Amino acid sequence: MIGGPSGFNNAPVTRTFVIACALFTIVFGIQGRSSKLGLSYQDIFIKLRLWKLIASVFAFSSTPELMFGLYLLYYFRVFERQIGSNKYSVFILFSAIMSLLFEVIALALLKDPLLNTLTSGPYGLIFSSFIPFYLDIPVSTRFRVFGLHFSDKSFIYLAGLQLLLSSWKRSILPGICGILAGSLYRLNVFRVRRMKFPDVIASFFLRLCWPSMGNTPPSATSRSVLGNVPSYAGRQVERNYAAPMSSTTEPPEDSIATLVSMGFDRNHARQALMQARNDMNTATNILLEAQSH
């Protein structure tokens, strides 16, 4: 499972966020301030260092956390491809705000002197993404190693576990807050899954993103809601795209596997590819259009 086509095709927001995290971490690391970016009770309630609320969202505290964090952010670009860049931006904003709110509340309630400072980094977004990853991304392969059962999703879980335990309590608490934020998004609190930025704002921010080849056209964005990926009816595809298939060529197996890794049913992915003459972008749009009905 690779999270769809390689690179940042159709995922400009993820690309920008990944680059921003890397740059923030490197800059603060060079300045020797990485370990001081995490939130603490004194920073929020006594010294009022509110700038840390923003810095702690982007910059990781250490190089290992940066490596595992960027790997997970890169993989979870599959969700931007599924719901579109506009709604994925809402997901990022909601996850960051809610996870930070939970962290502040936890610091206020615990007042644990041993906790000292929480680790920094986009833990809210990363661990919020594990909710739809667990519920909506299907297992495509299973295997055994030394008698232990694994799947293609196991490596993502192991990377997440490593990141969660990287700084013990300092990283576990932000991870839990991220999971809570993802659960609220899943439950559609405040109808957040229907929200999107106005087109003017969305186009402005997309222009700020680093260039990314093959972005999803506007008509294909915001057609689905994060968390409703797996079920599609073949008749929906036929109803919404009723033009006869002009090509009976069997779709390439790697194209089918790519769509399956994005959360689509294998049979419907194959049918959409045949109808789209094996064009990946068109096939993805067909599946997203069927999902929105």
Distance of CA 102 to CAs 21, 137, 141, 169, Å?
21, 26, 36, 15
Q: 250 CB contacts (<8 Å, ≥6 apart)?
A: 274
pLDDT of residue 180: 97
Range(s) of the domain holding residue 269: 231-293
Residues 41-84 pLDDT 10s = 788 777 778 788 888 899 999 999 999 999 999 999 999 988 88
Question: Is residue 7 assigned to a domain?
Answer: no
pTM of the model: 0.74
CA distance 263 to 268: 11
Task: With CA atoms as reference, report the closest residue to 33 among 4, 62, 5.
Answer: 62
Does 35 share its domain with 168?
yes
**Residue ranges of the chain whose pLDDT lies below 50:** 1, 212-247
pLDDT of residue 234: 42
Question: Is residue 58 assigned to a domain?
Answer: yes
Question: Is residue 180 assigned to a domain?
Answer: yes
Query: Do residues 138 and 260 lie in contact, with contact meaning Cβ atoms separated by under 8 Å?
Result: yes
Give the residue from 144, 169, 194 where a domain finishes: 194
Question: Is residue 270 assigned to a domain?
Answer: yes
CATH of the domain at 274: 1.10.8.10
CATH of the domain at 114: 1.20.1540.10
CA distance 250 to 46: 65
Question: Is residue 72 assigned to a domain?
Answer: yes
Q: 56 CB contacts (<8 Å, ≥6 apart)?
A: 37, 38, 39, 100, 118, 120, 121
Count of domains for the chain = 2
pLDDT of residue 210: 60
